[in-house]
Amino acid sequence: MVVLVRVLVACAKFRCPAANLLLSASTSRVRAQPGGPLLRQRTSKVSLRSIAMSTTQASEAAADKGLPLAVDATMIDEYASQSKLLQEFVKIPTIGKAWIFNSKDDDMSKAVVSIGKSDLLANKRRQFLLNTHISKSPSKSVDFQWSPFPTEISGVSAIVPSPSGEKLLLVRNSEDDSPTKLEIWGPCQLENEIHIAKSVHGSLYTDEWFEGISWNQEETFIAYVAEEPPQPKPVFNDYGFKKEGLSEKDCKSWKGQGDWEETWGETYSKKRIPALFVINISSGEVRPVKQIPRSLSVGQVIWAPSSSYSLVFVAWSSDNGFQGTPRKLGIKYCYNRPCALYAAPDPFGQEAEKSLTEGNKGETTTMIKLTANLSSAFFPRFSPDGKYLVFISAKSAVDSGAHNATNSLHRIEWCTDGKLDGSLGVADVVPIVLCPKDNCFPGLYCFGLLRDPWLTDGQTMIISSVWGSREVILSVNVVSCELSRVSPQDSDYSWNVLAVDKNNILAVSSSLITLPQMYYGIKVSQTESNWEWQGVSTPFPKPSDKISSVLAEHKFSILKIPISNPSDELANGAKLPFEAIFVSHKDSASNPTIVVLHGGPHSVYPSSYSKSLAFLFSQGYNLLVVNYRGSLGFGEEALQSLPGNIGSQDVNDVLTALDLVIKRGLIDPSRVAVVGGSHGGFLTTHLIGQAPDTFVAAAARNPVCNLSLMVGTSDIPDWCFVEIYGKEGKKYFSESPSVDDLCQFHQKSPISHIAKVKTPTLFLLGAQDLRVPVSNGLQYARALKERGIETKTIVFPEDIHGIDKPQSDFESFLNIGVWFKKHMGK
């Protein structure tokens, strides 16, 4: 049997036309598997290729040899050699955050850089800190002197230096019922360690969404966002319900569940509501910030820059449901959830108490909405002089219902006298760009903002954004509204800012074929935006010779793809070319090609280094990474052209990009595979159905395959409505879709094309995924199997949508590599 399998694999490899012939066959087999249940397989119409290599046979062959079920008997050597190389990729450390500490000496500063590394055996990520001195000589050359060894930081969820840089806060969240710990470090010792019981609050949020941890200017208080304390539950004993609740001495009683509480979905399913707290560092006293309604989820708190104890924070409303009814929807990756900036001028309610004891039930304002006229406002930052409150808005995402869209940047002139009455005007600094002209600025796409993004003029911010298929660094003057590109203009590499050092920038640059490298940017002229970038020598270990040579053997380019058949109805911005990144071997033009598709759909594959993609091209493949219309970085009209047209416009864009590389003779059209996750998995499964002769292999990670199933099971049912109906879908969105809706969803789903599929497909699914629940991928995989198409399915029991636990990530990409090798050869 093993021999038979080999022969037919060889046949499939060379795409013998006979292998694609449909045969009418009816087989019925019952076989006992060692250690497994009885397995019955009945197939009616089956292709020769799939008889030869059906998953069942491959795993039976494996089992015959005593191999684990995951390993295909014909691919053992491949599995072994690819896993070795993938481990080398996994070993490469990643650059995380950086903090800069200024000294009085203008030509000296100190920096701390965090380095991450996957520990496959422990299935977790480890974090190290590395210190360095940065010294600038008059000739403008910069020298980095690194400490001899890094220090491992374990069990730390957040690191926050104080404004003076003389203290450091380490947050240690606990995973069990033990208290949360806040450690305050001085230059050479632990100055203070505060334990906060779980009855006061749960873990601090450190998720870069609700996360907010802020020292006040005097360094006496820290405001932060943590999970509210557990809500009381009903208590029962032998006599029934106990009205007085649970007391310490109670035995013979138990706690009930109480009402189910909605959460923010994917990655937040075990989190309680985020709430605001302030700690007095010297006394260790923790106070909740009062009078914030539980219908608001708060985050991103900062202190206002005056001697009064005012806080500014973001609050997300829970009313995301049908026509604004109460319903939390998934928020991870979703920028379309309404939110606003608020100020709490009296966070402890002291003024309120005072006026109560003084007998006047006075109206004390506890919370002031600062951005009442905007549907979205987040990432608040004060200018160093306290004159401006600057923030990002995703109002276009909120208003259109698209889960990501072009951002805008705004400014509020802050009242330095501390008086707040909500009448502060909001000015635009960077508006939304609808249709970028001649490769000019496409608009702002900002997913993080430095704690201190300011140059020394106190008006210029340094921001990372997306510009076409590149990540770029921008400078924005918030007063004059001037914007310029700070990272090299002529580069296809991606750049990200790590920290601002007075008027200089510590950044990291990489490409799909270049490992991340640190750079130090110096502003050459004070007037123009003219920056000089010097490479920073770091003590990071060199990658293995194998990896260095694989990367050096490849090249990449960013292709402009003109759209096919533009209709007159399209907005001008949607008629512009989109982009695809093409990675290929420098000498070997005949390699097979993998089409790589991002999720979202309103996301992007930038040109930056990706371990997984580097591993794939290192197996001897070209990559065609398509940023189809709807991706971030191309202006708002191009982005908004996709909702209402998914499953057609995006599918056609991918095929147009593929046609272009075929017409230019860059790839062999007979050996093309496709891989994608989430919406990229939606496209993958659509493509193998709509273009059944184009792809010889496919791999889908948590794919959307059946929207009529997804709508009732996902944490973002609104996504189905908006992406199928466009803007209008925001109005239709309901928890009880009509039969017409379900028909629409079904028609536009990959499952409606399943009868045409011939491509062997690998499925990688996270059993805990709330975004695209595992039922979507499983159902589609079973439907392919019953049609006799070869499939392989791996379900990761503990993984969520991202499948990013180190071992799961490793096993996913290893299997993708082996699957493509099996079906496409090299």
- Catalytically annotated residue among 653, 718, 741, 769: 769
- Report the residue from 377, 604, 657, 699 that binds ligand NAG according to the rule CB under 6 A: 604
Q: How far is the CB of 471 from ligand NAG (least distance, A)?
A: 10
The answer to whether 702 contacts ligand NAG (rule: CB under 6 A) is no
The answer to whether 357 contacts ligand NAG (rule: CB under 6 A) is no
Contact 263, 238 (CB under 8 A): no
DSSP for 660-676, written as a single string? HHHHTT-S-TTSEEEEE
Q: How far is the CB of 288 from ligand NAG (least distance, A)?
A: 14
The DSSP bridge partners found for residue 561 are: 578
Q: Within 13 Å of residue 610, how many CA atoms lie on the same side as its CB?
A: 17
> Which residue, 349 or 384, has its beta carbon nearer to ligand NAG?
349
Say how far apart CA 162 and CA 215 lie, in whole Å: 6
> Which residue, 460 or 714, has its beta carbon nearer to ligand NAG?
714
What are the two backbone dihedrals, phi and then psi, of residue 567, each rounded to the nearest 5 degrees?
-90, 160
- Catalytically annotated residue among 47, 376, 678, 808: 678
The answer to whether 216 contacts ligand NAG (rule: CB under 6 A) is no
Both tokens assigned to 445: 């796409």
The answer to whether 429 contacts ligand NAG (rule: CB under 6 A) is no
- Report the residue from 288, 345, 600, 635 that binds ligand NAG according to the rule CB under 6 A: 600
Q: How far is the CB of 424 from ligand NAG (least distance, A)?
A: 6
CB atoms closer than 10 angstroms to residue 169: 22
The answer to whether 419 contacts ligand NAG (rule: CB under 6 A) is no
The answer to whether 746 contacts ligand NAG (rule: CB under 6 A) is yes
What are the two backbone dihedrals, phi and then psi, of residue 113, each rounded to the nearest 5 degrees?
-120, 135
> Which residue, 17 or 425, has its beta carbon nearer to ligand NAG?
425
Q: How far is the CB of 791 from ligand NAG (least distance, A)?
A: 15
The answer to whether 334 contacts ligand NAG (rule: CB under 6 A) is yes
- Report the residue from 128, 441, 447, 732 that binds ligand NAG according to the rule CB under 6 A: 447
Sheet holding 697-701, edge to edge: 554-561, 578-585, 622-627, 593-597, 672-677, 697-701, 761-766, 791-796
- Report the residue from 185, 316, 333, 454 that binds ligand NAG according to the rule CB under 6 A: 333
Phi-psi region of 291 (alpha: psi -120 to 50; beta: other; left: phi over 0): left
- Report the residue from 28, 189, 257, 283 that binds ligand NAG according to the rule CB under 6 A: 283
Say how far apart CA 814 and CA 120 lie, in whole Å: 13
> Which residue, 447 or 732, has its beta carbon nearer to ligand NAG?
447
- Catalytically annotated residue among 801, 809, 812, 823: 801
For 496, 561, 687, 738, the CA distances from 676, given in Å and listed in that order, are 25, 20, 11, 30
| Interface size with ligand NAG, residues (CB under 6 A) | 24
Q: How far is the CB of 282 from ligand NAG (least distance, A)?
A: 4
DSSP for 431-469, written as a single string? PPPSS--TT----B--S---SS-B-TTSSEEEEEEEETT
Question: Which of 405, 409, 459 lies closest to 429 in space, CA to CA?
Answer: 409
The answer to whether 340 contacts ligand NAG (rule: CB under 6 A) is no
What are the two backbone dihedrals, phi and then psi, of residue 789, each rounded to the nearest 5 degrees?
-85, 140
In three-state form (DSSP H/G/I as H, E/B as E, the rest C), the secondary structure along 74-108 is: HHHHHHHHHHHHHHHHHHCCEEEEEEEEECCCCCE
Contact 678, 750 (CB under 8 A): no
> Which residue, 123 or 373, has its beta carbon nearer to ligand NAG?
373
Choices 52-60, 235-243, 388-396, 420-428 (CB under 6 A): range interacting with ligand NAG: 420-428
What are the two backbone dihedrals, phi and then psi, of residue 237, each rounded to the nearest 5 degrees?
-135, -165
The answer to whether 404 contacts ligand NAG (rule: CB under 6 A) is yes
Cα dihedral 485→486→488→489 (10° resolution):
20
The answer to whether 398 contacts ligand NAG (rule: CB under 6 A) is no
The answer to whether 494 contacts ligand NAG (rule: CB under 6 A) is no
Q: How far is the CB of 401 from ligand NAG (least distance, A)?
A: 11
**Could you tell me where the beta strands, DSSP code E, fall in 649-748?**
672-677, 697-701
Give the position of tokens 């009205």: 243
Say how far apart CA 361 and CA 344 lie, in whole Å: 19
> Which residue, 137 or 423, has its beta carbon nearer to ligand NAG?
423
Contact 168, 160 (CB under 8 A): yes
My answer on whether omega of the bond before 229 falls inside 30° of 0, hence cis, is no
- Which residue's C-beta sits nearest to ligand NAG? 600
Could you tell me how many residues make up the chain? 826
801 in catalytic set: yes
Question: Which of 213, 314, 209 lies closest to 264 in space, CA to CA?
Answer: 209
- Report the residue from 708, 744, 761, 815 that binds ligand NAG according to the rule CB under 6 A: 708
Site string for ligand NAG, 617-656 (x = CB under 6 A): ---------------x------------------------
DSSP for 614-642, written as a single string? HHHHHTT-EEEEEE-TT-TTS-HHHHHTS
CB atoms closer than 10 angstroms to residue 427: 14
> Which residue, 510 or 603, has its beta carbon nearer to ligand NAG?
603
Q: How far is the CB of 197 from ligand NAG (least distance, A)?
A: 19
The answer to whether 114 contacts ligand NAG (rule: CB under 6 A) is no
Site string for ligand NAG, 364-393 (x = CB under 6 A): ---------x--------------------
545 in catalytic set: no
Choices 84-92, 375-383, 494-502, 702-710 (CB under 6 A): range interacting with ligand NAG: 702-710
Contact 559, 580 (CB under 8 A): yes
Q: How far is the CB of 383 from ligand NAG (least distance, A)?
A: 19
Contact 507, 498 (CB under 8 A): yes
Choices 39-47, 99-107, 298-306, 701-709 (CB under 6 A): range interacting with ligand NAG: 701-709
510 in catalytic set: no
Choices 42-50, 233-241, 277-285, 454-462 (CB under 6 A): range interacting with ligand NAG: 277-285
Q: How far is the CB of 470 from ligand NAG (least distance, A)?
A: 13
Choices 171-179, 599-607, 617-625, 685-693 (CB under 6 A): range interacting with ligand NAG: 599-607
Q: Which residues in the 129-148 window bind ligand NAG by CB under 6 A?
A: none
Say how far apart CA 217 and CA 435 lie, in whole Å: 42
> Which residue, 516 or 543, has its beta carbon nearer to ligand NAG?
516
Q: Which residues in the 761-780 window bind ligand NAG by CB under 6 A?
A: 779
- Report the residue from 282, 489, 549, 590 that binds ligand NAG according to the rule CB under 6 A: 282
Q: How far is the CB of 599 from ligand NAG (least distance, A)?
A: 6
Residue 557 CA to its chain's centroid (Å): 24
Both tokens assigned to 663: 């017409």
Both tokens assigned to 22: 């449909």
Q: How far is the CB of 6 from ligand NAG (least distance, A)?
A: 35
Both tokens assigned to 562: 């003109």
Site string for ligand NAG, 92-111 (x = CB under 6 A): --------------------
Both tokens assigned to 759: 């491509």
Q: Which residue ranges make up the site for ligand NAG (CB under 6 A)? A: 280, 282-283, 333-334, 373, 403-404, 423, 425-426, 447, 600, 602-604, 632, 706, 708-709, 746, 751, 779, 783
Task: Supply the residues annotated as catalytic.
Answer: 678, 769, 801
